[in-house]
Structure 1
Amino acid sequence: MIKISANWSALANKAIKGERLAMEEGLAVLRADDYELLAVMDAAFQVRRHFYGTKVKLNLIINAKSGLCPEDCGYCSQSIVSVAPVSKYPLLDKETLIAGAHKAMELKVGTYCIVASGKGPTNKELEQVIEAVREIKEAMPMKICACLGILSEEQAERLKEAGVDRYNHNLNTSGRNFDRITTTHTYEDRVSTVQKAKASGMSPCSGFIAGMGETDEEIVEIAYALRELDADSIPVNFLNPIAGTPLQHMNALHPRKCLKILALLRLVNPSKEIRIAGGREMNLRSLQALGLYAANSIFVGDYLTTEGQDAQEDHRMIEDLGFEVEVCAL
């Protein structure tokens, strides 16, 4: 493959001005020679520093409902097509959800993410989340992100009224690759839910999972799609191929490619919160810290069905970089 070089500082300046990168420029980031990796990351850092300085936002997930999902997402250990041995339980009670928020506060987390498996919440589940959110918001200065699947307009409005600050619904992959990953709902269903969340007044959060067979062109297309959605927060996940899932043998990533993907997302979505999400530890490996030169946000603690790095190690990593944890400001 012919590698493409670029004037990386010029791309950084273009991004800071809010100008959209051309497809060729986005591909240049992804296909840069590894010897140019630090230059690429420096360009991403110029943009990150312009908008966020050296602050790092922390997020914590609680797996509020595990397994029991009728969807056939090929990457997910909780899906109906997975035979992975994962915990299966209905939506956690209000007290457990509130206890998770207290744990998040202890870890200096700014955004507490309530995530539930399933296509979308039942009315009972929605009410259970709403009750917990109201009590959390009364007790502590914390942003709450809900990720409950596909929403109706009414459900989105009720979550907003209860105090949910942000709603997450990832695009997961490109429109062209979507049917190869999921067939029980559509790419358009996901876009629609993000738009409904935004219309309700909640901050829209949407990202994707790299490493599911998408081409470089499709990764750039995803970055553009998220820019067009105007997602405030963009979680960048890296596939953790879990045994027992249809994508268990997928192994398309290496740490340097993951860094270039993060740099691309920063350059295409310069002012947005870029969050390093699931699969960080196993895909970035010893280069995890470098990811924060592009991203300004990470998840701490465990993910849904996989373990994360110890939260104290994350705090140490941030300190070693000379960065600082951003205190939540509501």
Structure 2
Amino acid sequence: MSETLDCPSTNGTIEGGRWQSFADQVLAGNPLTAEQAAEVLTCPDSELLSLLDAAYRVRRHYFGNQVQLYLLMNAKSGLCPEDCSYCSQSKESEAEIPKYNILNREKLLDGARVAKERDARTYCIVISARGPNEREMKAVETIVPEIKEKYGLHICACLGLLTDEQAQRLKACGVDRVNHNLNTGEEHYDKICTTHTFADRVDTLKAVREAGLEMCSGGIVGMGESNEDLVGMAIELRELGVHSIPVNFLIPIEGVELEVPEHVTPQYCLKTLAMFRLVCPDREIRIAGGRELHLRSLQPLGLYAANSIFVGDYLTTKGQAPDADYAMIKDLGFEIVTSSEASICSH
């Protein structure tokens, strides 16, 4: 006697159909609500591929199969007066990391050369600081025009809290984009940092926006936040008009206070990426720090929701070998985009 298997319906009303209805909604120009976004984060593991299929429909609509690569340069390490509990460079950290002031011209220029060689479209100059001092501002103002002339790279600066005047100076020297992460939701912020506020970070993004610079801002998953905190951050980023959203996954570092909660599994990380894609459908979503540790063998699936990654190392932790990233992208049938023809949405 033969056995009959009952298969889930694919008519949009049973398993997986809910996620396709979310894709239909956002592609029609109707934003996901906070309740719907929270539902994405609690998607049953059995429906994960259906969720990623819906996220991929949205990603493909706005970005095709393009993947943009970024390279980070830790231009100033440690020596930070802030007490961010997730950071190996904070004043509270006991992590053994390199500590140095802003790199000289030759090292910053050499980092740009490596970025070009690795097919990165964007070179990110990052310093650890509450905000840049005058010496650091002048170093950036001097090197950026030279990098752009020699290598034609898109430049992102991550310098901490900025004044209106500093943002305008960055725009004037040729910086294309400023990164300043919200890191978490507003309600959770004072649990991870006390030396500045969530509002301080929002004010910096507004200064960046007013200066005519692109905004890059995202967060870190796995800092004890609730699903509602993550959703609140995603919606805040959408409403601010942020262009590029890096999604980091907390990397546990010896000497740093925070530890990753057990629920941050590879499946949960993929649901988080899908949530950001569906909440911010036309924004660049980047799989950032911690992808190798937390997504593990499921890394390729992340690019069905996200459309960019960092290539190489992060600030004080190692990343996957570039050749492994190139192979992953090729195996997916996606293409690396390095020119100004890349799909970047303006808001």
TM beyond 0.5: yes
Amino acid at match of 1:127: K
Q: Deviations 1:55-98 (Å, cap 9, x if unpaired)?
A: 00000000000000010000000000000000000000111111
Q: Deviations 1:122-161 (Å, cap 9, x if unpaired)?
A: 0111101111101011112210000000001111111111
Distance in 2 of aligned mates of 1:248 and 1:218:
17
Alpha-carbon distance, 1:18 to partner: 2.4
1:204-283 alignment, distance < 5 Å: 204-248=215-259, 250-283=261-294
Match of 2:26 among 15, 25, 43: 15
Q: 1:39 to 1:220 in 2, by over 3 A?
A: same
Distance in 2 of aligned mates of 1:88 and 1:6:
51
Distance in 2 of aligned mates of 1:115 and 1:296:
22
Q: Could you say which residue in structure 1 is the equivalent of 2:164?
A: 153
Distance in 2 of aligned mates of 1:5 and 1:26:
15
Q: Deviations 1:17-57 (Å, cap 9, x if unpaired)?
A: 22111222112211011000000000000000000000000
Contact 1:77-1:305 within 8 A present in 2 as well:
yes
Distance in 2 of aligned mates of 1:50 and 1:250:
34
> Aligned to 1:7, what secondary structure does the other structure show?
helix
Contact 2:82-2:195 within 8 A present in 1 as well:
yes
Distance in 2 of aligned mates of 1:125 and 1:17:
45
> Aligned to 2:101, what secondary structure does the other structure show?
coil
Distance in 1 of aligned mates of 2:24 and 2:243:
21
Q: Could you say which residue in structure 2 is the equivalent of 1:314?
A: 325
Distance in 2 of aligned mates of 1:287 and 1:218:
25
Alpha-carbon distance, 1:250 to partner: 4.6
Q: Could you say which residue in structure 2 is the equivalent of 1:51?
A: 62
Amino acid at match of 2:266: P
Q: Could you say which residue in structure 2 is the equivalent of 1:192?
A: 203
Distance in 2 of aligned mates of 1:295 and 1:249:
22
Contact 1:141-1:329 within 8 A present in 2 as well:
no
Contact 1:5-1:32 within 8 A present in 2 as well:
no
Match of 2:84 among 73, 79, 85: 73
Q: Does 1:84 align with 2:92?
A: no
Distance in 2 of aligned mates of 1:311 and 1:30:
30
Bigger drift between 9-18 and 267-276 goes to 9-18
Match of 1:100 among 111, 122, 138: 111
Contact 1:18-1:270 within 8 A present in 2 as well:
no
> Aligned to 1:204, what secondary structure does the other structure show?
strand
Could you tell me the TM-score, scaled by structure 1's length? 0.97
> Aligned to 1:236, what secondary structure does the other structure show?
strand
Number of residue pairs aligned between Structure 1 and Structure 2: 327
Q: Could you say which residue in structure 1 is the equivalent of 2:185?
A: 174
Contact 1:5-1:28 within 8 A present in 2 as well:
no
Contact 2:217-2:246 within 8 A present in 1 as well:
yes
> Aligned to 1:146, what secondary structure does the other structure show?
strand
* Ranges of 4+ aligned residues in structure 1 off by more than 6 Å: none
Distance in 2 of aligned mates of 1:280 and 1:250:
16
Q: Does 1:328 align with 2:339?
A: yes
Q: CA RMSD in A?
A: 1.2
Distance in 1 of aligned mates of 2:259 and 2:45:
27
Alpha-carbon distance, 1:119 to partner: 0.3
Q: Could you say which residue in structure 2 is the equivalent of 1:130?
A: 141
> Aligned to 1:225, what secondary structure does the other structure show?
helix
> Aligned to 1:115, what secondary structure does the other structure show?
strand
> Aligned to 1:95, what secondary structure does the other structure show?
helix
> Aligned to 1:293, what secondary structure does the other structure show?
coil
Contact 2:223-2:259 within 8 A present in 1 as well:
no
Runs of 5+ consecutive residues of structure 1 not aligned to the other structure: none
